Amino acid sequence: MPSPIFVKPQTLATMADLSEEISQAEQGERDIIQYTVKEGDTLASLAEKFKISLETILWANDLKKGSAVKAGQKLVVLPTSGVMHIINDKETISQIAKLYKADQDQIIAFNQLNANSALTVGDIIVVPEGKISAPTAAIAPVLARNVGNVLPDGFFILPTTGKITQTLHFFNAVDIANQCGTPVFAAAGGKIQIATNQWPFGNYVNIIHPNSVVTIYAHLSKILVLAGENVSQGQLIGYIGNTGQVVGVTGCHLHFDVRGTANPIAKYKYGSNLSFKK
């Protein structure tokens, strides 16, 4: 079995399965994981295993009390009791703290921020001891990956061509495999927030669109755009590659993630071949 990927808050990583027994120390103090449920697991037993509250698991996975889990199901597990939050446009740490009735200083310390840190729309942070008393309009998009902006048909185009090798996985991503060097295009027009190389997703691009929806393109072999640059729909932004840690996927592929709305590629089944319409 490949080594699991542990995802630091503030990153937009591909997460690998984690099915073996691990300790909290091995998990790391700040890492978010994706756990594959085994026979005999219950939500209560997993909360005890990972030393977090039951509510933390429920909130991170959009589940209700009494929900049953089954072997093979994938769950997001936070490293501490609290809430996972996706940064919205023009949001501040103080606003996030107020939203979840949490301590601002704890949020800053846990996520290794500082009071003046710029927050990138679409990034993930952990809110230690955060509470969700009732899902509000502000919290709802965090609880369910498909909640958020409802976009018209044609808002997105395919970002590349190839074969679906992994269907919907953390957070709201689909993997498309093809030869290294296959062109990758902006699925919609917007502004480049990030264009860099960062472990574990290697060369990646983050685009914020006019409605504050964010798309992420990871494991690129080469990036052709710069942070701050405006791009149009269909503009070439890079090429498929295998940079970073590409656990669970053979060869070159694009990890295409969407924040703030449904992933348009999620409707395709495993093994589907994607191609541009003529």
Query: Which domains does the chain show, CATH number per domain?
Result: 1-144 (3.10.350.10), 162-274 (2.70.70.10)
pLDDT at 146: 53
> For residue 244, is pLDDT > 90?
no
pLDDT at 277: 75
Please name which of 8, 64, 3 lies closest in space to residue 198, comparing C-alpha atoms: 8
Rg (CA), the chain: 18
Region of poorest pLDDT, from 74-78, 146-150, 188-192? 146-150
Dihedral angle of Cα 273, 193, 84, 137, to the nearest 10 degrees: -90
What is the pLDDT confidence band of residue 169, given thresholds at 50, 70 and 90?
confident
Rounded Cα–Cα distance for residues 123 and 127 (Å): 13
Dihedral angle of Cα 34, 50, 61, 206, to the nearest 10 degrees: -40
Region of poorest pLDDT, from 124-138, 221-235, 249-263? 124-138
What is the pLDDT confidence band of residue 149, given thresholds at 50, 70 and 90?
low
> For residue 42, is pLDDT > 90?
yes
> For residue 12, is pLDDT > 80?
no
Q: How many residues appear in the chain? A: 278
pLDDT at 138: 56
The pLDDT tens digits for 57-111 are 998 888 888 888 999 888 889 999 999 888 888 888 999 999 999 999 999 999 8
Q: Which residue has the higher pLDDT, 144 or 120?
A: 120
What is the pLDDT confidence band of residue 135, given thresholds at 50, 70 and 90?
low
Rounded Cα–Cα distance for residues 163 and 169 (Å): 16
The pLDDT tens digits for 198-214 are 876 789 999 999 888 99
Phi, psi of 13 (to 5 degrees): -90, 160
Residue 11 contacts by C-beta under 8 Å, 6 or more apart in sequence? 123, 124, 198, 200, 201
Token pair belonging to 127: 């809110």
What is the pLDDT confidence band of residue 248, given thresholds at 50, 70 and 90?
low
- What DSSP letter does each residue of 209-261 carry, written as one string? -TTS-EEEEEEEEEE---TT-EE-TT-EEEEEB--S--TT--SSEEEEEEESS
Rounded mean pLDDT, 235-254: 84
What is the pLDDT confidence band of residue 150, given thresholds at 50, 70 and 90?
confident
Phi, psi of 34 (to 5 degrees): -110, 125
Residue 140 host element (H or E): helix 140-143
Inter-residue contact 254 to 221 (CB < 8 Å): no
DSSP code for 5: P
